């Protein structure tokens, strides 16, 4: 997990170019390489050429990853916690009330990436991803008052008053599409906006919590929300990194009530 980036309250240039990948030096090529006499590999004299019968196989993808489409699991009547939510052409749309939020009937694994593609349609306030890790709930808030991003709560302090605070003159332009990615790992969290690392926090999650205004019905699920800003979520998905998540829909199509106890 990368160390926390920047200083609390520092201004960020959200239009800056993304970091360029670090690559090695280009291989040196002779100016006039000799042309081969024949195509392919020439075997040594008196040794017959052997044509391999087994094709070259690329390395397998990283194991332990599975993509879960949360939009395919949601029922707006069942899962909305506050506000009026609608599915429109396959996208999830919130209304403009304060702390409008919806939960998904899915318990994430120990480590995961939480990715949303969204457009704020109107309003000038926050778009949120509500996360869960190691029995703790917390939130990544994008564009509180359109000037602040951060995780909350940390040490019982909101995103605009804790070390993950990141400020800009304007984080979101209405009508423009953005991709937000929260990486949840055993050692902490990172948040990216359009591929750029915005904030991170190294933690065992014992110092994190969620204020009641953003609480979900269950402590072991995740969700999205918006504050006084109608927002369209075109993609909402989890990439499972370590462990396997669990879908919580029962045979009747409902979601079981939360077991006693729970997260902060």
10 assigned to some structural domain:
no
- Give residue 10's region: left, alpha or beta (phi > 0; psi -120 to 50): beta
Residue 166: CB atoms within 10 A of its CB come to 26
Q: What is the DSSP letter of 60?
A: P
What's the CATH number where 97 sits?
Answer: 2.60.120.560
101 assigned to some structural domain:
yes
225 assigned to some structural domain:
yes
Q: What is the pLDDT of residues 113-130, one digit of tens each?
A: 999 999 999 999 999 999
Backbone angles phi, psi at 167, to 5 degrees: -115, 150
127 assigned to some structural domain:
yes
Residue 216: CB atoms within 10 A of its CB come to 23
Termini Cα distance of the chain:
23
Which domain, by its residues, includes 166? 66-247
The 10 Å CB-count burial string (b at 16+, else e) for 126-141 is bbbbbbbbeebbbbbb
- Give residue 55's region: left, alpha or beta (phi > 0; psi -120 to 50): beta
157 assigned to some structural domain:
yes
260 assigned to some structural domain:
no
9 assigned to some structural domain:
no
3 assigned to some structural domain:
no
Q: What angle do CA 34, 39, 40 make, to 5 degrees?
A: 105
Q: What is the pLDDT of residues 57-93, one digit of tens each?
A: 433 434 458 999 999 999 999 999 999 999 999 999 9
Q: What is the DSSP letter of 110?
A: S
Please indicate whether residue 72 or residue 2 has the higher confidence score (pLDDT): 72
- Alpha carbon distance 1, 9 (integer Å): 21
Report the number of distinct structural domains present in the chain: 1
% the chain with pLDDT above 70: 73
């Amino acid at each position: 997990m990368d160390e926390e980036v920047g200083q609390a309250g520092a201004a960020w240039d959200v239009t800056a170019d993304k970091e360029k990948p670090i690559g090695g030096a280009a291989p040196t090529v002779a100016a006039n390489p000799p042309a081969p006499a024949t195509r392919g590999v020439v075997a040594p004299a008196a040794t017959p050429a052997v044509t391999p019968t087994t094709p070259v196989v690329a390395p397998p993808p990283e194991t332990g990853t599975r993509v879960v489409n949360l939009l395919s699991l949601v029922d707006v009547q069942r899962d909305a916690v506050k506000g009026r939510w609608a599915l429109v052409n396959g996208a999830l749309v919130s209304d403009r009330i304060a702390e409008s939020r919806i939960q998904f009937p899915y318990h994430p694994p120990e480590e995961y990436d939480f990715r949303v593609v969204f457009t704020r349609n109107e309003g000038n306030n926050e778009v949120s991803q509500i996360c869960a890790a190691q029995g703790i709930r917390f939130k990544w808030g994008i564009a509180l008052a359109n000037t602040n991003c951060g995780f909350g709560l940390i040490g019982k302090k909101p995103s605009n008053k804790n070390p993950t605070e990141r400020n800009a003159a304007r984080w979101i332009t209405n009508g423009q599409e953005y991709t937000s990615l929260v990486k949840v790992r055993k050692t902490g969290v990172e948040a990216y906006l359009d591929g750029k690392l915005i904030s991170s926090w190294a933690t065992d999650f014992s110092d994190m919590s969620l204020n009641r205004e953003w609480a979900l019905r269950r402590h072991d699920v995740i969700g999205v929300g918006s504050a006084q800003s109608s927002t369209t979520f075109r993609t909402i998905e989890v990439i499972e990194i370590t462990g396997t998540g669990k879908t919580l829909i029962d045979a009747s199509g409902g979601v079981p009530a939360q077991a006693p106890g729970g997260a902060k």
